[in-house]
Structure 1
Amino acid sequence: MIQTTIKVSGMACSMCEAHINDAIRGAFPVEKVTSSHSKGETVILSQAPLDENALRAAIDATGYTAGEIHAETYEKKGLFHFGKKKD
């Protein structure tokens, strides 16, 4: 699974977050998408890497501005995962 974090400027409220989330869900096959206007970012979980240019286009089409995009491998941690003990 891939976690993609995008800096998004222009979001001011929860409706802005929903607008971005809906645009992402409509344009890409994602597992989960969450946006935060207070952090100014959107976090997407997907099975495969997402095209950065297409992401920017989808966000920019909503009237908000996509900034820095960072993608990394995401590993879901179980309920009882407390990290690895050091010997």
Structure 2
Amino acid sequence: MYKTTVKIDGMMCSMCETHIKETIRKTFPSAKKVTASSKKKEATFITDDVIDLSILGDSIERTGYQYLDSETIPYDKKSVFDFWHHR
């Protein structure tokens, strides 16, 4: 699994956050745990495979927001069992 963090300019409110989340879900239907924050100027989501960041940037720009940067890193899903196992 992979976690992608996207830096976005132009989000001003919760409706902007909703637009970004919808855009990500439409562009990458397999995206999970999609979040967006106008305060942090970023969105994050999880995918099973590495995504094409140029497609992500184009879809955000078409929505009317400015795509600044993005990063995809490996993501290890943590569970309650992992917490107790490592204690």
TM-score normalised to the size of structure 1? 0.89
Partner of residue 63, structure 2: 62
Give 5+ residue unaligned stretches, structure 2.
none
**Percent of pairs identical after alignment?**
39
SS at match of 1:33: strand
Give 5+ residue unaligned stretches, structure 1.
none
Report the Cα distance in structure 2 between the residues aligned to 1:28 and 1:49, rounded to whole angstroms: 11
RMSD across aligned positions (CA): 1.6
1:74 aligns with 2:84: no
Partner of residue 6, structure 1: 6
Aligned positions, number: 85
The runs of at least 4 consecutive aligned structure 1 residues that moved more than 6 Å come to: none
Please give the residue correspondences for 1:1-87 in structure 2 after superposition, counting only pairs within 5 Å. Answer: 1-29=1-29, 30-79=31-80, 81=83
Report the Cα distance in structure 2 between the residues aligned to 1:79 and 1:12, rounded to whole angstroms: 35
**Alpha-carbon offset, residue 76 of structure 1:** 1.2
The structure richer in helix per residue is: 2
Report the Cα distance in structure 2 between the residues aligned to 1:60 and 1:54, rounded to whole angstroms: 10
TM-score normalised to the size of structure 2? 0.89
